[in-house]
Structure 1
Amino acid sequence: MGSSRCQKDVGEYMSSLESIFRFPIDQLPFIVLVLIIALTVHEFSHAFFAYKFGDSTPKEMGRVTLNPVSHISLLGMLLFVIAGIGWARPVMINRSNFKQPRLMGIIVSFVGPFSNFVLGFLGAVIYAASIKYGWTDGWSSGAATALHVFLQYFIMMNVLLFVLNLIPLPPLDGYRILEDLLPLRARMELQKVEHWGFYIILVLVFIPPLYKITIGPILGLSTPIIQQFVIIANKLFF
């Protein structure tokens, strides 16, 4: 009786966790590992290009590194796991140090999401190659499954980050790109409401009816991108 009750309690506890997290609780290790890699490369890309374009700020703040500790926000990671949307520590950039502030600002903003686009495609290529060349032959079924699940999440999460970050709402990269594209007067008007951006995103994410007509359809654009990645990767090896 005691053992059955214990198993029941554990089952109920796991079910309650499943209702909290957006992803299956037993697959959270894969999600966390993928996010650490994806967010680290994303923020490093911002920092690296800003530094190469003449801004020493990221270098001085220790951001031109692939060390995850320098980039990961624990709160942002937690929210990503719970809500499917989160953040890393933003890279501080002084655009006035660029020779062409607006053009280089657009490039610096775009390379973050683009790095996730590239990682997603590489994940699809590695997945297809692992099947074609039998990289997991001789592995235990559990280890082979773990690799394939990791690669599936690696592809999905990186494409999601690519699409998500191009949404033109502050503090996302899409907003910074829009900001640099607009003429000065329009930019100044936009900056007046910039501080509301984070709260707008939270409202759109956590109110289901709004999510279904705003963020949801936008993130849905990741599906055809993933499908194309898989098609291209398969053509390379099959």
Structure 2
Amino acid sequence: MLDTLTLAAILIPCLIIAIVFHEVAHGWVALMLGDPTAKEQRRLSLNPIRHVDPIGTLLVPGALALMGGPVFGWAKPVPVNQRRLDNPRYGMMAVAAAGPGTNILLALAAAILFGIFAGFASNWGVAPPEWSLTFFGAFVLINAFLALFNMLPIPPFDGSHIVGGLMPRRWVHHWQKLQAMGMLLLVVLIAATWAFPDARWIENTLFPPVEWLTGIFYAVADGVARVIA
């Protein structure tokens, strides 16, 4: 059983990698589709400090943790100017999908690498160390959760931009008004989740697909390990 300090040393890097790559992916796809805003503001960096939001990354999660509520948080969004995209409507959908898509790719890469590691360990007649199992499990779970959570069609999550791109043009104006209230909706969502913990909406809505997705990555890791062993 890992002690608290060791567990924190494993979980924090997993979370930082997942969030930073998620945000940078938005900026890189925007750049490829004609919008250099993120590059101009030096946000295409893997330096975590550039992506820290004092409120969303530090204050809100810390306060919720101290109050015993569900812990939510967010990084500083990478700036994207939809008007500068070559195709603003569908370009914004691609930019939004880049973040969750990157989290899926990160989890898949981790599954393949861990499978290779576990396969060689089996050939050497040893079991993977406990910390590696914990790191792999945490990394896959965090990335799967971030991918699916951000795909919720609720402003300001990535899923809301994809929905906005798919809906009829006559509805887009009303949807954009709702997106402008995104942070207020997010605060209300956090407050409601903390105020009514028995509702367990996160567990009931997200945990089944997260478990299904993590199961796929575990199966990939197991398959790679069996091939090598």
- Please state which band the TM-score falls in when normalised by the shorter chain: 0.7 to 0.9
Return the offset for 1:202.
Answer: 0.9
Q: 2:27 aligns with which of 37, 42, 47?
A: 47
**Pairing of 1:159-238 with structure 2 (within 5 A):** 159-194=144-179, 195=181, 196-206=184-194, 207-210=196-199, 212=200, 214-220=201-207, 221-238=209-226
Alignment partners' CA distance in 1, 2:149 and 2:28? 21
Return the offset for 1:105.
Answer: 0.7
SS of 2:77's equivalent in the other structure is coil
Return the offset for 1:52.
Answer: 1.3
SS of 1:193's equivalent in the other structure is helix
Please say if residues 115 and 223 of structure 2, whose CA atoms lie closer than 8 Å, have aligned partners that are also in contact: no
Alignment partners' CA distance in 2, 1:200 and 1:176? 20
Higher Rg:
1
Q: 2:117 aligns with which of 119, 130, 152?
A: 130
Moved more, 147-156 or 178-187: 178-187
Alignment partners' CA distance in 1, 2:125 and 2:52? 36
Please say if residues 144 and 213 of structure 2, whose CA atoms lie closer than 8 Å, have aligned partners that are also in contact: yes
Moved more, 108-117 or 119-128: 119-128
Amino acid at match of 2:152: I
Please say if residues 55 and 97 of structure 1, whose CA atoms lie closer than 8 Å, have aligned partners that are also in contact: yes
Q: Which runs of 5+ in 1 are unaligned?
A: 1-23
Return the offset for 1:25.
Answer: 4.5
Identity over the aligned pairs, expressed in percent?
A: 27
Q: Which runs of 5+ in 2 are unaligned?
A: none
Report the aligned-residue RMSD.
2.5
Q: Report the TM-score, using the length of structure 2 for normalisation.
A: 0.82
C-alpha distance 138-40 of structure 1, shift in aligned 2 (>3 A) = farther
Q: Report the TM-score, using the length of structure 1 for normalisation.
A: 0.79
Length, aligned pairs only: 210
Alignment partners' CA distance in 1, 2:116 and 2:212? 21
Alignment partners' CA distance in 1, 2:112 and 2:40? 36
- 1:90 aligned onto 2:77: yes
Amino acid at match of 1:117: I
The residue aligned with 1:10 is none
The residue aligned with 1:4 is none
